[in-house]
Amino acid sequence: MKKAFLLLAGISLSVWASAQKIAPFKAGDRVAFVGNSITDGGHYHSYIWLYYMTHYPNMRITCFNAGIGGDVIGQIYDRFDDDVLDKKPNVLTLTWGMNDSGYFEWYRADAQDVMDKRIQGSYKYYGMLEDKLKRLSDIKKIFILGSPYDETSKFTTKNIYPKKSIAFSKIIDFQQEAAKRNGYGYVDFYHPMAAINLREQAKDSTFSLTPNDRVHPDNDGHLVMAYLFLKAQGLDNQYVADLSINAQSKKVLKAVNCRISNVTAGADSVAFNYLANSLPYPIDTIPRGWGNRKKQADALKVVPFTKDFNQELLSVKGLKDGDYKVMIDGEQIGNWSARQLADGVNMAEITTTPQYQQAIQVRELNEERWDIERRTRMYVWMQYDFLKGKGLLHNDSNAAMDTVKKYAVKDIFVNGNKDNYSRARYKSLRDAWQKETDVLTDQIYAINKPKNHRITIIAAK
């Protein structure tokens, strides 16, 4: 297995991405991201939606978190009608296998036999789900070959499960073949992320995109996942804007995904109106989510997200030699030489521009939406992963609450969801959360429209 991993490290991300193509989302799409805890507690779907919110502000879509922590494919099958189809998706992504490939079971003397039977059972349940998927001709299916289990990092000696990587890789192969056989789209997170881990571990043996437990990606890993998904959709190299002005002739040389008007110029200055069709992608610099320590911005060290997805290029030619101030709406955003401005400046990397500040507001509203949605997913976990087994599915009575309290004493997962369930079991509160989510989404699509700005380039005195 190590030899295969080393082979992965030498394969570029572009090779993996070029092998996959799925259609971009379109206006009105309702996209359900179905999976386990990596979907449930993770950000990749929220980061994908944020890209659409900022890059396509007039093309509204809706994305749903339909993950539940700990789920194997059999559990996804059991809840599929009530928890996935009730969202009325017309696009569905499916990822599974991390939990199906086991953990502590690999320490048993009969581990291989036990896990072979378990994985075969997973294939059976997948077949049952596939039968359902085949009947849903109005839903586009996209399989996600999940993020890898990292057994090679040296950040800890814990959570190393012998042969789990081999078993999981076989499940990944099974999923890819199933997608091809049925004509479904698929996106490969597994191989590119494993390649990144090995590439970075050659420089730092403790590096991992799953630095907490070898299983769950941190925020940087989730941006890598979003990067791979958007790249598979063919959305790379689509500019936020690409504009070029000749200061001497006052001519617009280039205006990609934007409009330039009212160009004026003096002896040592040029100014113009700038209206982009997109906002820059607002990279987060704060660790988000329980237990996470990494920032979304950390992913920029391992994938070229800025180069591929966040280019807002400003080029001004024909300026006299010297240094120039660049101002937007009267506020200075930076100083550059005439040569630097002629070569081009990426405004999407400047967090103080009014358009970037506008995008930050979209990001923060999206984070609020994500946080509320997480509460609903914790409630759904309690329903399907605990109460159903006690014959109390959708009961939410005092008896259900008493059962939760009783088992929370010894079950860390029930205990971790207990407080949320004590509130979420009331339908009135869940309805209020949904209304909050709707208000936040409406507000995002009300404020995400780019505005007209006046850009002025003037010689620095």
Judgement on whether residues 251 and 198 belong to the same structural domain of the protein: no
Judgement on whether residues 342 and 371 belong to the same structural domain of the protein: no
Work out the average pLDDT over 412-433: 97
Total domains in the fold of the chain:
3
Q: What is the mean pLDDT of the chain?
A: 95
Give me the percent of the chain exceeding a pLDDT of 90. Answer: 94
pLDDT computed for residue 3 by the predictor: 47
Judgement on whether residues 93 and 158 belong to the same structural domain of the protein: yes
Q: Phi/psi of residue 77, each to 5°?
A: -60, -45
Number of residues in the chain: 461
pLDDT computed for residue 9 by the predictor: 46
267, burial (CB in 10 Å: exposed 0-12, middle 13-18, buried 19+): exposed
Last residue of a domain, one of 232, 251, 274: 232
Quick check: 2 pLDDT over 90? no
Flag the least confident range among 16-30, 36-50, 56-70: 16-30
181, burial (CB in 10 Å: exposed 0-12, middle 13-18, buried 19+): exposed
Q: What's the pLDDT band for 461 if we cut at 50, 70, 90?
A: confident
Distance, CA of 48 to CA of 30 (rounded, Å): 13
Judgement on whether residues 217 and 128 belong to the same structural domain of the protein: yes
Instruction: Please name every residue paired with 323 in a beta bridge, in sequence order, or none if there are none.
Output: 337
Judgement on whether residues 252 and 392 belong to the same structural domain of the protein: no
Judgement on whether residues 186 and 332 belong to the same structural domain of the protein: no
Judgement on whether residues 101 and 227 belong to the same structural domain of the protein: yes
pLDDT computed for residue 352 by the predictor: 97
Last residue of a domain, one of 232, 267, 282: 232
Judgement on whether residues 57 and 164 belong to the same structural domain of the protein: yes
Give the pLDDT confidence of 108-121 residue by residue, as tens digits: 999 999 999 999 99
pLDDT computed for residue 267 by the predictor: 86
Which structural domain, as residue segments, surrounds residue 401? Answer: 359-447
Last residue of a domain, one of 232, 255, 281: 232
Judgement on whether residues 194 and 296 belong to the same structural domain of the protein: no
Give me the percent of the chain exceeding a pLDDT of 70. Answer: 96
Work out the average pLDDT over 413-442: 98
Q: What's the pLDDT band for 21 if we cut at 50, 70, 90?
A: confident
Tokens of 241: 């804007």
Judgement on whether residues 156 and 212 belong to the same structural domain of the protein: yes
CATH code of the domain in which 72 resides: 3.40.50.1110
pLDDT computed for residue 13 by the predictor: 57
Judgement on whether residues 6 and 134 belong to the same structural domain of the protein: yes
Give the pLDDT confidence of 49-83 residue by residue, as tens digits: 999 999 999 999 999 999 999 999 999 999 999 99
Three-point CA angle 76, 78, 83, nearest 5°: 70
Judgement on whether residues 440 and 453 belong to the same structural domain of the protein: no
